[in-house]
Structure 1
């Protein structure tokens, strides 16, 4: 059987179980290029009627799926949309490569946080890693992340996707774990869900004043305290959130750029983050904000 036919057959089977699917290339990326110019914004197939939106093309309709695969005769796999539907799929992608073992990291995290990982649908990746499938609460938007829970632990939530079992990539095939005898997707443990969600925004009682150079303001002090109070397991998440807010204030001239990085890194190191890791997180936040 050709890679294309194999991918289509498996995609249709997944769709029959209620999962939205779309074609992937052997590189695990969407197989249909965008029909739009670079600056065009379109949410997906339903909005414009054309394929080429990645996870925005995901469907459970066999006719739509076949039409998409007809436009992607080079497809060797399929993606499964996460974060959509009445019981949104949440994927935990555990890498095992380059000296990192995401499986062991998740087990240690579960032990520290006091939750048990249920025997849910598990997919084996060609590199030796695992994809764990969970359902999230209806109406909850789980953000995608890479390495924020721990080394080798990535999260696929709203507008993210997982490579479906049966897909063939350059390194091999994605397969259901042999221990899975009943394909039941279990609800995500509450403690794990809380770790995936962004931290609550700190509340400021007064409007932000325009920043006066050389004068340390309440804004940065509040963000520093927010990071310094971070519980274990949420330190990097809080740092990234606070750094994004701080760089936004720098961009709007409410804060001086020279004060932000050192203050937040110092607070993060004080609660147990490594200095280099904290610096990388603050730098990533600055790039995201464009300050």
Structure 2
């Protein structure tokens, strides 16, 4: 399908579109995504003028919210994406698109009455495209060091879920506030783990998952990932208000990150196909 044909089919389905520079993401229209339209005559005019234009849609509003995952030489957002999925933050996506970077766009239906602004999470390689944002859509292509590469639809989902952008951003944010308890040689091993568990149990909302991940990494680094210590950490995280599935997934992810054996999972959760 050509980009012109795709644009007309999106528009016929009620999804406004606009055009961007060939091989890139910069809008060609004067007002960018604000010029998005479902008018076939306007779309035809754009492609008559710019036959190789890329195709884009505004995000948010009554359309789609998009979780944008990048894969770059400086790092990949895919491991964090799998952690967020295991924590139940990405259930019910409508479709999944592979991007030229090797990353993914996860599309979620929106709630028109609920505004969720676009944001970028520094260092995680995961961004959110909601109100005030836009994304290129298939069959658009961008220039890469290896040559032009396309956006491709790779899966469709139930479309039953709505992504909570605020909760996702808190999940991606490193813990803030008081420093964790000291871990020097003056403390016994038991006192160290009990102190760490107390710290996890008393973390404020918005930092609990990231704090648990940090603490579980410290346990794995010390070679103390045996079940009794991780159970202590697990119970502390549950007392803080985290859900059992989220706790299990986060501890497992920390153990894998450090390279230690994972603790026995409390809950087994089926995979959702979010791996590359």
Give the TM-score, by structure 1 length: 0.52
Offset, 1:99: 4.3
Partner residue, 1:142: 116
Task: Find the residue that maps to 1:80 and give its secondary structure.
Answer: strand
In structure 2, the CA distance between the partners of 1:100 and 1:153, relative to structure 1 (3 Å rule), is same
Within the candidate set 133, 147, 166, 2:107 is matched to 133
Partner residue, 2:39: 61
Partner residue, 1:95: 70
Q: Distance in 2 between matches of 1:196 and 1:151?
A: 10
Instruction: Report if aligned partners of 1:144, 1:155 keep a CA contact under 8 Å in 2.
Output: yes
Partner residue, 1:158: 131
CA RMSD of aligned residues (A): 2.8
Instruction: Report if aligned partners of 2:117, 2:129 keep a CA contact under 8 Å in 1.
Output: yes
Partner residue, 2:2: 6
Q: Distance in 2 between matches of 1:187 and 1:114?
A: 10
Partner residue, 1:29: 26
Aligned residues: 173
Deviating above 4 A after TM superposition, structure 1's stretches of 4 or more consecutive aligned residues are none
Q: Distance in 1 between matches of 2:160 and 2:88?
A: 18
In structure 2, the CA distance between the partners of 1:145 and 1:119, relative to structure 1 (3 Å rule), is closer
Give the TM-score, by structure 2 length: 0.55
Instruction: Report if aligned partners of 1:21, 1:80 keep a CA contact under 8 Å in 2.
Output: yes
Instruction: Report if aligned partners of 1:142, 1:196 keep a CA contact under 8 Å in 2.
Output: no
- Which runs of 5 or more residues in structure 1 are unaligned? 33-51, 198-227, 236-291
Q: Distance in 2 between matches of 1:62 and 1:133?
A: 24
Within the candidate set 11, 33, 40, 1:15 is matched to 11
- Which runs of 5 or more residues in structure 2 are unaligned? 171-202, 211-276
Offset, 1:10: 1.5
| 1:1-291 paired onto structure 2 within 5 Å | 6-25=2-21, 26-32=23-29, 52-75=30-53, 77-85=54-62, 88-111=63-86, 113-147=87-121, 151-171=124-144, 172-177=149-154, 179-180=155-156, 185-190=159-164, 194-196=167-169, 229=204, 231-232=206-207
